[in-house]
Each structure stands twice: as structure tokens, then as C-alpha cells.
Amino acid sequence: MEILPEDLQLYLDTHIDAEPEALQKINRDTYLKVLKPHMLSGHYQGRLLSMLSKMISPKRILEIGTFTGYATICLAEGLTEDGFIDTIEVNPELEETLRGNFSLTNVEKKIRLHIGPAAAVIADFDDQPFDLVFIDADKKNNLLYFDLILEKVRPGGLIIIDNVLWKGKVYGDASDTDTKLIRELNDSIAANPQVEKLILPVRDGVLLIRKR
């Protein structure tokens, strides 16, 4: 869902860098072949992720929730020459699609795909800190993932969480379980003195968090 008015979003989309050819194909194929294609980051958010990654030139990135790999590729664009991204996808049925999508790009060798539950995969990582983390997985566990990775992020590192405006429901009267959990996430991070935080009204809401 787009939070911004359609005409404003269209204006923004036409005043950013073009969508790379490989990402155009992944975008198109996702909508043709995969369930819930709206979960894909898309052109505008993808360029935001790419820009943020390039601004900090990370050596190590963690992504929780790969889906069809669109955001993975965007984040990998900013990696240092010897950098890499660990990306975690719980659905094994997407593995073949993901490896095919990554092969379309020049960042394929910088991507390390992990299939399995995110909490278990994270527990197996070494103590080398991450420079950038992107959380875009099952929303009910966002706060758990944040708590698990906060100590694994270097001071000054960036954590990005997607869908924090939840179709506008978090600032309305909705009382369903998912909305309550995302409000809890936002409120918890807003009150956390270990981090600086800022919500951007991009697509369904992007929360930027900088570890102090």
C-alpha cells in the first residue's frame, strides 16, 4: 500500500534514477508468478534502500525477509568491494527463484542466502558486527528481530524496518492483533535511548534507526 497520494507518488517515481534492467525483470516476474507480489519493495523504495546503503558503504549487511530478492539486490549495490549481505528467507520454495534472480546481477557473489527461521539463523552468526540491517519479514516478530540484532550492529550502524505505518492503521483506531504489534514495535523503539529513530512515509512506512 502507498501512504502518499497517487499523483505525488507518480511524481516521485519519475524524478529518481531509473530502475535497473535486472530489477525491472524481477519486479515484472514477481507480479506474474509469485503470491502476494505487493510485498516486493519496488522501484521507489528500492532506490531509497540503494541510496542509504551507498551512503554508509557497508561491509556487512543483514536482511531478514528476502522474498524475491529485489531489496537484497538494492542493498548490495552499496557494499564495499569485499563486503557481503546475509539474507534470510523462511520459505524454501523461493530458493530457486532467488538464486535465479541474483544471477541476473553483478552483485550475485556478494549475496549469502540462508533458508530457515530468522531467529535460528541469527543465533548462528559470529560476533562480527553488521553495518546495516533491513527487517522486512513476518511483522509479528519485528520486535523480536530488533532485539536479537541490536547488539550485533556496530555503533553508528543503521537498522531499517519496513511496513511500520501498516496501511495507516497504526495512527487510527484499528485494534486488530497485527496493528497492535506494530504499534508496540514503534512505541518500544521510540522510547529506546540506545538508538536515534525516524519514520519515513515511504510506501507502507519505513523506520530508520541509527545505533548510538
Q: Rounded mean pLDDT of 39-60?
A: 97
Is 1's pLDDT higher than 80? no
**Confidence label for 4 from pLDDT (cuts 50, 70 and 90):** confident
Mean pLDDT, all residues of the chain: 96
C-alpha 16 chain-centroid distance: 19
Sorted by where each starts, the structural domains of the chain and their CATH numbers stand as 6-211 (3.40.50.150)
Give, for 135, the enclosing helix (H) or strand (E).
strand 130-135
107-143 pLDDT tens trace: 999 999 999 999 999 999 988 999 999 999 998 999 9
C-alpha 190 chain-centroid distance: 19
